[in-house]
Amino acid sequence: MIPSINYRARTFRVARALQRCERCGELTPVVGLLLPVGHETLVAQGDTSSAAQAWDVSEAEALLFLVEHIPERVRVRLHLLAPHYSFDHEDGTTDSYWMNHCARCGCRQNDFELYCEPEGAFAPVGAKPAGSICLHWFPEPIEAGATGYALAPRYFSCAQRQQRIRQRY
């Protein structure tokens, strides 16, 4: 089921890194979404029987994963940085989401491996692996529906931050 929009921000970054494919052993580019300080999360208000919701402002950067809904405009940005990013179904689960795939063999690169496993592309365990992550800035709004959310790992401060002064796409 596609969740309604539950995250939004005035700008966003696309994180691009390399992940080793478990099937073929090759390094393949993978992308993810990083929301800036000041992004907003839709949260329930009061007790669980209440349908009231409100936007909560965050004071930290955060990664979104298990992303089920993104605007077409944002999807195009991701696709230009990783052509094998597409909506897919994860084996052995009921989860379908925007997923990275190996550029060589097409194998799914599931979000749990990328975001939750130590040394996953977006879970660097040191400054050196974090330094190979490139954060491409897009000064335009984003709204997304996602079930995965994590504060940016501390080593993300070592990632390369690219300021996009002029839109090329």
Residue 18, interface with Zn ion (CB under 5 A)?
no
- In the three-class reduction of DSSP (H, G, I as helix; E, B as strand; rest coil), residue 153 is classed as coil
- Beta strands, E only, 70-159: 86-89, 96-101, 108-109, 134-138, 142-151
Stretch that binds Zn ion, among 32-40, 41-49, 60-68, 100-108 (CB under 5 A): 100-108
Residue 104, interface with Zn ion (CB under 5 A)?
yes
Residue 105, interface with Zn ion (CB under 5 A)?
yes
The number of residues that bind Zn ion (CB under 5 A) is 7
State how far the alpha carbon of 156 is from the alpha carbons of 29, 42, 98, 105, 131, in Å.
Answer: 17, 24, 22, 29, 8
Residue 103, interface with Zn ion (CB under 5 A)?
no
Q: How many CA atoms lie within 13 A of 165 on its CB side?
A: 0
Stretch that binds Zn ion, among 8-16, 21-29, 48-56, 109-117 (CB under 5 A): 21-29
Chain residues in the site for Zn ion (CB under 5 A): 21, 23-24, 102, 104-105, 107
